[in-house]
Amino acid sequence: NNILKGSVSHNIVNNNASEIIFDTKELEIEKVELENGVKAEFNLTEEDPILGKGLVVKITPETKKVTIHYKTSPTSEAVQWLNPQQTAGKTKPFLFTQGEAILTRSWIPCQDSPGNKITYTASITVPEGLTAVMSAKSIPEKADGRFNFKMEQPIPSYLIALAIGDLQYRSLGERSGVYAEPSMIDACVYEFQDIENMITAAEELYGDYAWEQYDVIVLPPSFPFGGMENPRLTFATPTIIAGDRSLTSLIAHELAHSWSGNLATNSTWDDFWLNEGFTVYFERRITEALYGRDYSEMLALLGYQDLKQSVGELDKKDTHLKLELEGRNPDDGMTDIAYEKGYFMLRLIEETVGREEFDAYLKQYFTDFKFKNLTTEEFVTYINEKLPQTKEMNLNDWIYGPGLPANCPEVVSNKFKLVDEAHNHKPNDFASVEGLNPEKWTTHEWLHYIRGIDVESWEKNGLYEIADEAFGFTNSGNAEIAAAWFEKSILGGYEAVNPKLEEFLINVGRRKFLTPLYKALLEADKATLANDIYVKARPNYHFVSTSTMDDLLGYKG
C-alpha cells in the first residue's frame, strides 16, 4: 500500500509547558499518548502548502514523553517507493527517504528544523528478503525482518534516513563499506577503493572522524541528488559509478559533510551556505591531498563556471550567501550560490591569511561547534575573533551582497588550457596536433571541452557528427559527460541523440541533470518533446525532482 505505519516517541525537555507542537505533512495521526499510555488531546492546524500541518499536543508541566501513533501517505514527499522494475535487480521493491530540507515531517512527526538536534533509536520491520539500513548504528537482533538502529550523536531531523531493498554489504576497510543491490556490488566496491584514504586525508586536515563508521549506499537512479550526507551512511546516486573512479569527488564531498554540516550545522535554512560552502572547500582540499593540485583546480574551475551561470540566472537576492526564505520552500536556496560562492569566499580567506593559519582556524572551528548549530552572524563574529585580518576583507559584500565580488579568487588550470586549444581543431584532427592527447583526459577535461562547444559553429560545420564518431559521446556510460553532451546537442539541433536522451531522462532522476536538459529542450523550442518524455519519466522521479520539473514544464497532471 506504499505506507509506513508505527509510532514515534519523543523524550522532551519540558519548559513548564501546556502544549508541544510537531511538524507533520500528509500524515494520519491515529492517537497520541503521554507517559504510561495516558491519552493526550491533540489537534492539527490549518495546512500550509509548504510546511504542512502543526500537530498541537496538550501536555502538563510534568510531561517528559510524547508518543504519536501514525501512518504515512502513499504520496509522502520524503519517501519514494520503487517497484522491482525500477531497481537494478528487477526482482524486489525498494524504498528510500530524502529528508533535506523539510521533508522528514512527511514520514515522522517531529520538530523539523536544522536548529533542533536529537539522538534517536529505531526498530523497522520489513517483508522477508529485504534489508533495512538507516543513518545510525545497526543493532543486531535475531527476529526475522526486524532491524534495529541507534544514533548516539545529536543530529538534525533532516539527517534521519531509511532505505529498504535487496542489499548486499562489502567492507572497504577498517571503518568503511558499501551497500548496493547484488548486481552492482562489485562495480561499487571497485569505484570506492579510495574511501579509507579519503577519511585519513580528512582527519589529517581537520581532526578525528566523529561517527565511528563511514558507509555508502548506492541507491536506484531515481535518487534526486548526487549524494546525501546522512551520518554513518551516505546515500549516493548510481550515476557516479563510471567504471574509472573519475566521479568519486562526490564521495569526498559527502565525507566532508561529516565535519561541515553534520558536526557544525546551519541554525536555519537561510544559513545553508555554512553547510555547503565549507563542504566544497573541504572536498577540494581532500581531492588535492589525494590527487594533486591540478586535479582539484579542475574541479574548482568547473565549479566557477557553474557559479557564473547561476549568478546570471537567479534573482539578485538569491545570489546572497545569507538567504531570505521566509514564506518560501527552503529547497529554493539549494543552488550553486551556497556551494560555490561559499567556497570562493573561504578560498579568499585562505589566500589572504595563509593556508597554515586558515587550517588551524578550521580545525578549531569544527571543535568549537561540534554537535552544535550556528548562524551566519555567529560565524562572522567567530572568524573576526579568531582571524582578525578578516575584519578588513569586506566579507559582508560576499554574505549580504549580490553576485560575485570583484575580489573573487582566480582559478588557473594548466590542463584546461590544453583543452581550450582543442577547440581550434576539428575533433578528428586531434591525433595530429602536438600536445593533444584526449586518450589521457579525465572526466573533468572532457566536461570542460564539451562545455566550450560553440553551438552555432558546430551545427554549421557538422562537428557534432564528427565528434560523436570520434569520441562516442552519445553512448557514453559516464553520466556527467552524457548529460553535458545532450545539453549541447539539444541546443545545436543534433537530433541523433534523441533516443539516448529520452532513455537517460526516463531512467535518471538526479535533478542536477534533469533541470538543464529540460531547460535546453524548452530553449530549443522542443516543449512538445520535453513534455512527452516527462510524462513517461515522471513516475520514476522523487518528489524533490518532480516539484522542480513540474514548475519548469508547467505540468498539471
Residues designated as active site = 254, 339
Backbone angles phi, psi at 280, to 5 degrees: -65, -40
* Backbone angle region of 245, left / alpha / beta, with phi > 0 → left and psi within -120 to 50 → alpha: left
Residues 222, 223, 224, 226, CA torsion sign: negative
3-class SS string, 377-419? HHHHHHHHHHCHHHHHCCHHHHHHCCCCCCCCCCCCCHHHHHH
In whole angstroms, what is the distance from residue 236 CA to residue 254 CA? Answer: 9
Q: Within 13 A of 306's CA, how many CA atoms are on the CB side?
A: 20
Whether residue 196 contacts residue 172, with contact meaning beta carbons closer than 8 Å, is answered with yes
Non-local CB neighbours of 463 within 8 Å, separated by 6+ positions: 426, 427, 453, 457
Whether the CB-CB separation of 133 and 55 falls below 8 Å is answered with: no
Q: Provide φ and ψ at 126, rounded to 5°.
A: -130, 160
Q: Count, in order, helices (H) and strands (E) of the chain.
A: 19, 20
**CB neighbours of 491 closer than 8 A, spacing ≥ 6?**
455, 520, 523, 524
* DSSP H or E stretch at residue 545: helix 543-553
Q: How far is CA 451 from CA 233, 242, 431, 467, in A?
A: 33, 19, 21, 14
Cα(325)–Cα(334) distance, rounded to whole angstroms? 11
Q: Which residues are within 8 A (CB) of 549 and not within 5 positions of it... i.e. 6 or more apart?
A: 514, 515, 518, 534, 538, 541, 555
CA-to-CA dists, residue 185 to 91, 172, 226, 429, angstroms = 16, 12, 18, 39
CA distance 429 to 436: 10
Asked if residues 349 and 393 have their Cβ atoms less than 8 Å apart, the reply is yes
Report CA torsion sign: 98, 102, 105, 106.
negative
Cell numbers 522477508: residue: 128
> Among residues 505, 485, 506, which one has the least CA distance to residue 496?
485
Residue 214: strand, helix, or coil: strand
